[in-house]
Structure 1
Amino acid sequence: MSETRTTGPAEPAPSQPTGARAERLSVTGVSKRYGAVRAIRNADMTVRAGSVHALVGENGAGKSTLIKILSGAATADTGRITFEGRPVTISSTADAIALGIATVYQEPQLFPDLTVAENVFTGREITRRGRVDWAAQNARVVELLELIGLPARYATVPVSELSIAEQQQVSIAKALVGNAEVLILDEPSAILTDAEIEVLFGVVRRLASTGVAIIYISHRLDELFVIADEVTVMRDGETLGTWPIEELSVRRVVELMVGGILEDRPPEHTVPDVPPRLVLEGLASEGAYSGVDVAVRPGEIVTLYGLIGSGASEVADTVYGMRRATAGRVLLDGRPVAPHSPRAAKRLGIALLPANRKQQGLFGFQSIAFNISAGHLPMLSRLGTWMDRRRERQVARDLITRLSVKTPHERQPVSAMSGGNAQKVVLARQLVQRPKVLVLAEPTQGVDVGAKEEIHRIVRALADEGTAVLIVTSDLPEAIRISDRLQVVRAGTTTVEFGPGASQADVLAAAAGAVGQEEAA
């Protein structure tokens, strides 16, 4: 393997913010370590009253850890936090709320059977003489609904009757009822349509106009140039700086996020010139994605790369029969098929490595042999009823050797294994009967670098043996490194296609909607 260095352009020095907005929240030299892993180090960020402050970075850059520290879900090891100019300690979510720091997450965290007013005041009810003052609560909720652009009548409507976008607005109202001075919006647009995003932006602008400081986290970089005043960029656990939005372009933000990196590129791989094994033709699933067109040949690795909320992960679920397609076709060796369930997909020769191995892929307290043989009773049984334990152990041993699973024996409980080895066990189960199509969802999520390399080696070997491999991943370096072809999924649709050797900046720019956009002077 040859090692090539890719270096980004010189990083623009952040200028001093302009305007007379007062400093609301500031972090200086904040660091956080989890065991041997340093999640963030020496992070600096200042958020101003009445401004929308974007926080961006690749997956694993440290954004989530910094937000956890500000919202009280984690405690900084070192550093200083000031609120309106005075040092503060945030040791719990209660501390954050007491200061006026509220967080709204991507998925609304509401009780569907309760009304909007009941949800907004859950845990902080207005009482009078020991009883809930419903009139006072409803009156306050009506004020908040007017601020966020929802009808006053929604105060008494059950949350289950609202759209996802409206539920998110209710989540914002719930955050504001405690007189929030800083509102953190974590990927607020990931699950919204374009029209709903415009509504969200209207809410954000109204809140900023009242003096609320907003921290806006998004992978959709084109949004920043519509809604943000300033941008802080994180990379490898550090804040690179903060820039006024007018000094940046999407392209420059991408280059800052990616930076200078080392890419260990594998030798170029020749894909057999044969008809495709798997074809997704105009595939759609209502509410998740639409217009997905993909073709994968035997011996080829095709990757779908998309940011959070792009719809890429739901495509994998559809191919394996876990999600219903509402339009389009799935073809296997040129023949239309309908994998309407995992069992049907398996009969067709389609196997899936699920993204959430703990919930969907493993029986934690069972042995490796049990986990590998699960779902293969007809093949590994006597008379189709009783498991042939000797054969089960032999199949497990063969796959343990083939996939280099580190274990003393096949009887070891999976719960005692590392993440990388547990992932190999889930993969081994898919290989008991060689699949025609192998779908891998986030195949190396949560595993270390060594295990990632081994899994990539295994996947490439399977492709070389003639398996058609479809990978869905949000890990950009992985997507580039392992793919014969890479297709970007954005807003539920396959868009730009890249061949081997694509740059991270180009792919990330395509995923963020910046293709063809000229860099600002």
Structure 2
Amino acid sequence: MSETRTTEPAPSPPPDPGAERLSVTGVSKRYGAVRAIRNADMTVRAGSVHALVGENGAGKSTLIKILSGAATADTGRITFEGRPVNISSTADAIALGIATVYQEPQLFPDLTVAENVFTGREITRRGRVDWAAQNARVVELLELIGLPARYATVPVSELSIAEQQQVSIAKALVGNAKVLILDEPSAILTDAEIEVLFGVVRRLASTGVAIIYISHRLDELFVIADEVTVMRDGQTLGTWPIEELSVRRVVELMVGGILEDTPPEHTVPDAPPRLVLEGLSCEGEYSDVDVAVRPGEIVTLYGLIGSGAAEIAETVYGMRRATSGRILLDGKPIAPHSPRAAKRLGIALLPANRKLQGLFSFQSIAFNISAGHLPMLSKLGTWMDRRRERQVARDFIARLSVKTPHERQPVSAMSGGNAQKVVLARQLVERPKVLVLAEPTQGVDVGAKEEIHRIVRSLAEEGTAVLIVTSDLPEAIRISDRLQVVRAGTTTVEFGPGASQADVLAAAAGAVDQEEAA
């Protein structure tokens, strides 16, 4: 989906459909020289699900921080149930009835569900915690969110991620929340778990709770949302009823252009394979995997969660040992036994979990890009050449279009898409022969996704062999020169450009074999 800067007129904002619960008018916020949001307007109504969307860096997170009390607006007005309010702390927000549930559950795994729900707001009687009263209240909340009453006394560590997220919602509701902010609630859930989440959201809305729902999965909006507010470049463009929009129109509003359906053409050079996986197996994880990637080619391994595709990528990068089969690099057998060994061979990996495996969040962009490259960027192999480190960082900031005021900015202050570009930049410092990308656009918005795809294509055009592992089906189809389905731990059907989502998904589910695909 490439885009131009020719815009269409935005749809007319809808008339006021009912009483408001929370409203922001003309809200602005600066962080030094960076204007995070300016003149933002949004009205959320009781009993409605209000989606807030925009590219990474559009201002969504800053607006939510202001509403939840984690940041204070420089200018503007906030009203709650029709009266002006001042939210200068999280305690202020909670006192009003504004609660936030983040993407990853923030719970104590060794405590019970009831203990987690009441942490910091325990019910006491005569100076002691009233466990019976707490458990009774938690049982009521569990019934509301669709969890068994017996979970009240179960340690959180014994629950699934989806159930932990429901507990986080119960924790938010224990303070009688009137506005519930759900920040990327579905990002770590399976399709079945998302349906459960939607059921919880609908039940809460039916009781009069106003829901602010933030998601990069735009198709979800048309299942769960009543209204949508779109942000771009720190501003709110407007709010529209969901029935006036389509996924395509929302994307166009977010990126400020008209989308084209056809990706740029990419010609793969006729050359011997650079990377070959030949009968590769790892006991208990995958078996008989056959993959070949030529210089300048983008090959994608697509598989549902648990298919074994992620483990294949880890083996190529030396994070996991194969038990049989061969890996060939430029026709020569290799056996990378560690990431360091893989790096020396010219193999780089963009990890799926950038927070845990890819970033030093509180360090600068320059530090994150140079990390692991001391021999190349050092003086006498010992001390980092800071001038060269800064220059390399500036070069990659420009090349990858990283949005930042300078290379000294901490990565923790960046949007998800820009942080992902920083992780990618580190993999490119020493120009790898093979670039393995695991879930390269997970958790980033559509604009950042397109930019990352553009970068990947340009790397392939420069001769890099690119192997992508993803569970994002539209991405797999759109970016691949060839797509191989991984199912039950082995590579099965291969597709060329232009494959249909239905055919690929059928193959991933085991409904299509290689002969039918051909």
Please report the TM-score for the alignment, with normalisation by the length of structure 2. Answer: 0.68
User: CA 1:246 to 1:137, structure 2 compared with 1: closer, same or farther past 3 Å?
Assistant: same
Structure 1 residue 351: deviation in Å? 2.2
User: CA 1:460 to 1:217, structure 2 compared with 1: closer, same or farther past 3 Å?
Assistant: closer
Structure 1 residue 335: deviation in Å? 8.7
For the Cα contact (< 8 Å) 1:4–1:264, is it kept in 2? Answer: no
Structure 1 residue 103: deviation in Å? 0.5
Aligned equivalent of 1:216: 213
For the Cα contact (< 8 Å) 2:181–2:211, is it kept in 1? Answer: yes
For the Cα contact (< 8 Å) 2:276–2:290, is it kept in 1? Answer: yes
3-state secondary structure, aligned to 2:186: coil
Cα distance in 1 for partners of 2:156, 2:253 equals 40
1:487 and 2:484 are equivalent in the alignment: yes
State the Cα deviation string for residues 74-106 of structure 1 (Å, max 9, x = none): 111111110000011111111111110000011
Structure 1 residue 437: deviation in Å? 0.9
Structure 1 residue 467: deviation in Å? 3.4
Cα distance in 2 for partners of 1:454, 1:194 equals 26
For the Cα contact (< 8 Å) 1:6–1:263, is it kept in 2? Answer: no
For the Cα contact (< 8 Å) 2:4–2:258, is it kept in 1? Answer: no
1:135 to 126, 132, 136: 132
For the Cα contact (< 8 Å) 2:156–2:164, is it kept in 1? Answer: yes
Structure 1 residue 192: deviation in Å? 0.8
Cα distance in 2 for partners of 1:311, 1:185 equals 31
For the Cα contact (< 8 Å) 1:248–1:520, is it kept in 2? Answer: no
Structure 1 residue 349: deviation in Å? 3.6
Cα distance in 1 for partners of 2:34, 2:406 equals 30
For the Cα contact (< 8 Å) 1:81–1:88, is it kept in 2? Answer: yes
Cα distance in 2 for partners of 1:372, 1:16 equals 43
Cα distance in 2 for partners of 1:199, 1:60 equals 29
1:380 and 2:377 are equivalent in the alignment: yes
Aligned equivalent of 2:30: 33
Cα distance in 2 for partners of 1:84, 1:491 equals 53
State the Cα deviation string for residues 479-506 of structure 1 (Å, max 9, x = none): 9999989999999999999999999999
% identical aligned pairs: 94
| Mean CA deviation greater in 465-474 or 388-397 | 388-397
User: CA 1:306 to 1:186, structure 2 compared with 1: closer, same or farther past 3 Å?
Assistant: farther
Structure 1 residue 62: deviation in Å? 1.3
For the Cα contact (< 8 Å) 1:365–1:414, is it kept in 2? Answer: yes
For the Cα contact (< 8 Å) 2:10–2:253, is it kept in 1? Answer: no
| Mean CA deviation greater in 257-266 or 80-89 | 257-266
| Mean CA deviation greater in 494-503 or 253-262 | 494-503
For the Cα contact (< 8 Å) 1:277–1:295, is it kept in 2? Answer: yes
Structure 1 residue 26: deviation in Å? 0.5
State the Cα deviation string for residues 359-401 of structure 1 (Å, max 9, x = none): 8679999999999998799999999999999999999999999
User: CA 1:33 to 1:322, structure 2 compared with 1: closer, same or farther past 3 Å?
Assistant: farther
3-state secondary structure, aligned to 2:514: coil
User: CA 1:225 to 1:117, structure 2 compared with 1: closer, same or farther past 3 Å?
Assistant: same
Cα distance in 1 for partners of 2:191, 2:251 equals 22
For the Cα contact (< 8 Å) 1:301–1:482, is it kept in 2? Answer: yes
| Mean CA deviation greater in 166-175 or 426-435 | 426-435
User: CA 1:135 to 1:45, structure 2 compared with 1: closer, same or farther past 3 Å?
Assistant: same
Structure 1 residue 224: deviation in Å? 1.1
Aligned equivalent of 1:81: 78
State the Cα deviation string for residues 182-207 of structure 1 (Å, max 9, x = none): 00011111111111111111111110
User: CA 1:422 to 1:105, structure 2 compared with 1: closer, same or farther past 3 Å?
Assistant: closer
Cα distance in 1 for partners of 2:218, 2:227 equals 13
User: CA 1:243 to 1:334, structure 2 compared with 1: closer, same or farther past 3 Å?
Assistant: farther
Cα distance in 2 for partners of 1:393, 1:256 equals 35
For the Cα contact (< 8 Å) 1:55–1:231, is it kept in 2? Answer: yes
2:61 to 60, 64, 75: 64
Aligned equivalent of 2:6: 6
Cα distance in 1 for partners of 2:226, 2:411 equals 49
Aligned equivalent of 2:162: 165
Structure 1 residue 66: deviation in Å? 1.0
Cα distance in 2 for partners of 1:65, 1:512 equals 40
User: CA 1:18 to 1:294, structure 2 compared with 1: closer, same or farther past 3 Å?
Assistant: farther
Structure 1 residue 298: deviation in Å? 0.9
Cα distance in 1 for partners of 2:201, 2:232 equals 26
For the Cα contact (< 8 Å) 2:28–2:38, is it kept in 1? Answer: yes
For the Cα contact (< 8 Å) 1:252–1:519, is it kept in 2? Answer: no
Structure 1 residue 24: deviation in Å? 0.2
For the Cα contact (< 8 Å) 1:278–1:468, is it kept in 2? Answer: yes
State the Cα deviation string for residues 212-258 of structure 1 (Å, max 9, x = none): 00011111111111111111111121111111111122222222222
Q: Number of residue pairs matched?
A: 518
| Mean CA deviation greater in 268-277 or 47-56 | 268-277
User: CA 1:487 to 1:398, structure 2 compared with 1: closer, same or farther past 3 Å?
Assistant: same
Structure 1 residue 52: deviation in Å? 0.6
For the Cα contact (< 8 Å) 2:362–2:410, is it kept in 1? Answer: yes
Q: CA RMSD in A?
A: 8.1
| Mean CA deviation greater in 295-304 or 53-62 | 295-304
Q: How does 1:93-242 map to 2 (within 5 A)?
A: 93-242=90-239
Aligned equivalent of 1:398: 395
For the Cα contact (< 8 Å) 1:219–1:512, is it kept in 2? Answer: no
Cα distance in 1 for partners of 2:471, 2:124 equals 47
Structure 1 residue 445: deviation in Å? 13
| Mean CA deviation greater in 38-47 or 133-142 | 38-47
3-state secondary structure, aligned to 1:519: helix
Structure 1 residue 259: deviation in Å? 2.0
Structure 1 residue 276: deviation in Å? 3.9
Q: How does 1:119-518 map to 2 (within 5 A)?
A: 119-260=116-257, 271-278=268-275, 296-300=293-297, 319-322=316-319, 341-343=338-340, 345-346=342-343, 349-352=346-349, 435-439=432-436, 466-469=463-466
3-state secondary structure, aligned to 1:261: coil
Cα distance in 2 for partners of 1:436, 1:506 equals 32
For the Cα contact (< 8 Å) 2:3–2:258, is it kept in 1? Answer: no
For the Cα contact (< 8 Å) 2:57–2:414, is it kept in 1? Answer: no
Structure 1 residue 436: deviation in Å? 2.7
| Mean CA deviation greater in 278-287 or 427-436 | 278-287
User: CA 1:388 to 1:38, structure 2 compared with 1: closer, same or farther past 3 Å?
Assistant: closer
State the Cα deviation string for residues 268-294 of structure 1 (Å, max 9, x = none): 875422244346899999999999998
| Mean CA deviation greater in 104-113 or 16-25 | 16-25
User: CA 1:44 to 1:374, structure 2 compared with 1: closer, same or farther past 3 Å?
Assistant: closer
For the Cα contact (< 8 Å) 1:72–1:91, is it kept in 2? Answer: yes
Please report the TM-score for the alignment, with normalisation by the length of structure 1. Answer: 0.68
3-state secondary structure, aligned to 1:94: helix
For the Cα contact (< 8 Å) 1:25–1:82, is it kept in 2? Answer: yes
For the Cα contact (< 8 Å) 2:439–2:471, is it kept in 1? Answer: yes
Structure 1 residue 295: deviation in Å? 6.2
Structure 1 residue 466: deviation in Å? 4.0
Cα distance in 2 for partners of 1:195, 1:143 equals 24
Cα distance in 2 for partners of 1:3, 1:213 equals 34
User: CA 1:410 to 1:89, structure 2 compared with 1: closer, same or farther past 3 Å?
Assistant: closer
User: CA 1:385 to 1:505, structure 2 compared with 1: closer, same or farther past 3 Å?
Assistant: same
User: CA 1:318 to 1:165, structure 2 compared with 1: closer, same or farther past 3 Å?
Assistant: farther
Cα distance in 2 for partners of 1:292, 1:194 equals 27
3-state secondary structure, aligned to 1:234: strand
